[in-house]
Amino acid sequence: MSLETSAPPRWQPRTQRAGEWEITALSSGWLRLDGGSMWGVVPATMWREWTPPDADNTIRLACRPFLARRGKDVVLIEPGIGTRWAEKWRKIYKIEYVDTLEETLARVGVKPEDVTHVIDSHCHWDHIGSQVVERDGKLVPFFPNARHFAPAVEIAMAKKPGHARAASYRAEDVLCIEERGLLEGFEGTRELLPGLVAHVLGGHSDGVSVITLGEGSERAIFWSDVVPTTHHVQPPYIMAYDLDVVRSFEVRSQWLEEAARGSWLGMFFHDEHVPFARIAKDGKRYRCEPAC
Ligand SMILES: [Zn+2]
């Protein structure tokens, strides 16, 4: 059986507005994870239609940062996977350095030095690896002038994950930023900039958060791994990776309901094809309407 995979869809600039914010979907590369793990208890007969797997049962996942701009605020939400990977891990996770953060930022005319804020929803390596780069054999922050924010409990887990969480974190992804005084932890519900709020939820990981921008029908939400793709929109469609499934079910039920009621603009990190979509509800079931 051939394990050759198709090429990932190439990045193209896609921008949406949410109130005063202009939000552009970037790319930081790609990885593949086992489809069964990404879909938890959902039967393969169903998920294979929505996210067709390769011969080895893996599905391709985007690692998609979002650039939110408003006046002098240049905010990078979720840096992404990055290119700091040993060959062994690149092979295991089939990490593809196609349309990297460096390349896609340059394509929208933004220099890493221009970024004023970096927000990490949680500290799993596929979400924050890009915030640290290697230059002349040394690890340095990719965004040297940005204030970086991450959930306090996630910073702690990244530094000392313990056995059950060890495969999901790399300490250097946060230490390099913290050592330079650029990293700040947040807890609970925290307004990081006027109208830009981090909500620590937990479930998928100890401190996974969603990020909201703006208010009312103008509101956008970065779903992170709370809703990893536009197909994961029914509350029980919980990844096998989630630490606390009961908590995941609670927060997903609550936030999907609110997002559908408000017709919020959703920002999806892992969806292979769709960066922006709004969630709607038909009877008891949710569906996603791609926004661009
Ligand atoms: Zn995660």
pLDDT in tens, 242-267: 999 999 999 999 999 999 999 999 99
Ligand 1: centre distance to CA 204 (Å): 7
Ligand 1: centre distance to CA 9 (Å): 22
Handedness of CA 74, 78, 83, 86 (dihedral sign): positive
User: pLDDT at position 4, please?
Assistant: 54
Ligand 1: centre distance to CA 268 (Å): 13
Ligand 1: centre distance to CA 1 (Å): 31
Ligand 1: centre distance to CA 162 (Å): 16
Check if the beta carbon of residue 279 is closer than 8 Å to that of residue 256: yes
Q: How many other CB atoms sit within 10 Å of the CB of residue 77?
A: 25
Q: How many other CB atoms sit within 10 Å of the CB of residue 97?
A: 15
Q: How would you write the pLDDT of the chain (292 residues) with one tens digit per residue?
A: 444 568 899 999 999 999 999 999 999 999 999 999 999 999 999 999 999 999 999 999 999 999 999 999 999 999 999 999 999 999 999 999 999 999 999 999 999 999 999 999 999 999 999 999 999 999 999 999 999 999 999 999 999 988 888 889 999 999 999 999 999 999 999 999 999 999 999 999 999 999 999 988 899 999 999 999 999 999 999 999 999 999 999 999 999 999 999 999 999 999 999 999 999 999 999 999 999 7
Ligand 1: centre distance to CA 147 (Å): 22
- What length does the chain have? 292
Q: How many other CB atoms sit within 10 Å of the CB of residue 106?
A: 12
Ligand 1: centre distance to CA 242 (Å): 8
Pairing of strands 73-77, 66-70: antiparallel
Ligand 1: centre distance to CA 226 (Å): 8
Ligand 1: centre distance to CA 71 (Å): 30
The predicted-structure confidence for 105-163, as pLDDT tens digits, reads as follows 999 999 999 999 999 999 999 999 999 999 999 999 999 999 999 999 999 999 998 88
* Rounded Cα distance, 75 and 147, in Å: 10
